[in-house]
Each structure stands twice: as structure tokens, then as C-alpha cells.
Amino acid sequence: MTLFIDRLAQAGRWRRRATADKVVLALGLLLLAISLPPWPGAALVLAVAWGAALFGAGVPPGDWLRLNAAPLGFALTGAAALAVEWSDGGVHLAADHGVRAALVVLRTAAGASCLLLLAATTPTPDLLRGSRRVGLPAEIAEVALLTWRFLFLLLDAAAAIRAAQEARLGWQGWRRSLRSLGLLVAMLLPRAMERARRLEIGLAARGFNGSLPMLSPVRPVSPAFLVAALGGEAMVAGVSLWLS
């Protein structure tokens, strides 16, 4: 069992690119999306983030749209309240003709795209390794890494239990589904505990003494990529300020 976003990150064109490269690009754009005026700043950031994801990282367009659907839907729902107003006993378009709502959606979409660009091109362990290099305590990184690994094992276990329940008509109708879901969740806890105990045995057999030393892959930073990323961001900032 794999998570959709993890699958994209593992199989993507930028999988082996240095985390620092991708962080500079994505978080730099995020900073611009927050600090520049939504028009045209956020719109430019949005375009660059989508371009980087689709043409640079090679994220399949359908997958990219699917990734963006949830935050975009959330932003649209929230902005709807800004686009209309209640007056004279009815609902009318806001006095600003929905401009404020559109700008909120634009900024939200731009910010979400920047974070999704990073998430869809960088596996979680790479981010944890990068965080360690900039000062995240080893203990926290190790616990996060184990939690991440455990997530997939639990998803496997949940999928197997659900398949077994479905095979015996456990998910027909909401009442049965609710009961099966409750049983599934109740089953997962003891399984997780048992799995943790066996993992401890496995670690002990290889000399575990409280820390998890590993040889992490070294991926050199690409100066060309960094120059391009920073240059692109400077251009977005310049054009945005000039136009506004």
C-alpha cells in the first residue's frame, strides 16, 4: 500500500534532486505568494509553481489537478462567503463584485501549489533528513521516520482487514459499514502494538542501542538549478512589483 502523494514523490523526475534545491524553489515561491500583492504576484507564483510541477518535475497533469483539488475546493468554499452579502432580505453579489474573494482564492491556490510542489517531488524521509541538517533533533527525526514507515504497515493491515470484512458483506449499508469501521479501528491498535514489538526484536538483532544510525544518500546541490530558481523568483517579484 502506498500513499498517492508518496507515490508521485518516489517516482517523479526530481526524486534524486537535492532537497535543498526543491526547498529553495518551493519555499521561495511560497514566501512570494504570501508577501506580494495577490494580483499579479500570486497569479505569477501560481503559474510558475504549476509550470515547475508539470514541465520541470514531470508530475502527470491529472495527478497534479487531483492534488490541487482539495485545497482549491476548500479555498473556493471559504471565499464564497466573501463573494456574496445578505441585504434587503436576499443574497447579492458583494459590493466589490467578488474581487476580494477572487484575490483570496488566488493567494490560497498559489500558496497551496508551492507546498504541493515540494510534497509531490520530495519523499518525506528526504525532508526529515534535510530538517536534521538544519537542526531538528535526531530523536524527533527518528521517531517521525519510524512513524512514517509504520503508516504504510498500518495501511496494509487496514486494507487487509477491510477486504476481509467486505468479503463477508461487512460494508453493505451504513449501519454495517459503521460497525465494520469500528471493528477495523479496534483491530488496528493491537496489531500496531504487536508489530512494534516485533520491530523491536528485529532492531535488537542488529545491535539497536537507542539510536538509528543510517547511511543517508548524499545528493549534491545543483548550482544551476539554484540560480534558475532564485532568478525565477526574483523575476516574479520584479514583474509583480512593476505591474502593481
Partner 1 sequence: MAELIVEACGLAYCYPGGIPALAGLDLAVARGRRLAVLGPNGAGKTTLLLHLNGTLRPAAGRVLVAGGELGYTRAGLAEWRRRVGLVLQDPDDQLFAATVAEDVSFGPLNLGLSEREAGERVAEALEALGIADLAGRATHMLSFGQKKRAAIAAAIAMRPEVLLLDEPAAGLDHGGTKRLVAVLERLAAAGTTLVFTTHDVDLAWSFADEVALFDAGRVRRQGAAAEVLADREALAAVGLEPPLLLELGFRTREEAVAGRALEFDAVALNRIPTPPSGH
**Residue ranges binding partner 1 (CB under 8 A):** 1-2, 6, 10, 16, 123-126, 145-146, 148-149, 152-153, 156, 195, 198-199, 201-209, 212-217
For the CB of residue 165, give the shortest distance to partner 1 in the complex, in Å. Answer: 22
For the CB of residue 145, give the shortest distance to partner 1 in the complex, in Å. Answer: 7
40 or 123: CB nearest partner 1: 123
CB-CB contact of 41 with 244 (8 Å): yes
For the CB of residue 189, give the shortest distance to partner 1 in the complex, in Å. Answer: 18
96 or 200: CB nearest partner 1: 200
CB-CB contact of 192 with 154 (8 Å): yes
Question: What φ, ψ does residue 197 adopt, rounded to 5°?
Answer: -65, -45
Cα–Cα distances in angstroms (integers) from residue 201 to residues 55, 148, 206, in the given order: 45, 19, 9
203 or 241: CB nearest partner 1: 203
For the CB of residue 137, give the shortest distance to partner 1 in the complex, in Å. Answer: 18
- In order, the DSSP letters of 82-137 are HHEEEETTEEEE-TTTTHHHHHHHHHHHHHHHHHHHHHHHS-HHHHHHHHHHTT--
113 or 121: CB nearest partner 1: 121
Task: Give 3-state DSSP helix, strand, coil % of the chain, rounded to 5.
Answer: 75, 5, 20
9 or 59: CB nearest partner 1: 9
For the CB of residue 222, give the shortest distance to partner 1 in the complex, in Å. Answer: 18
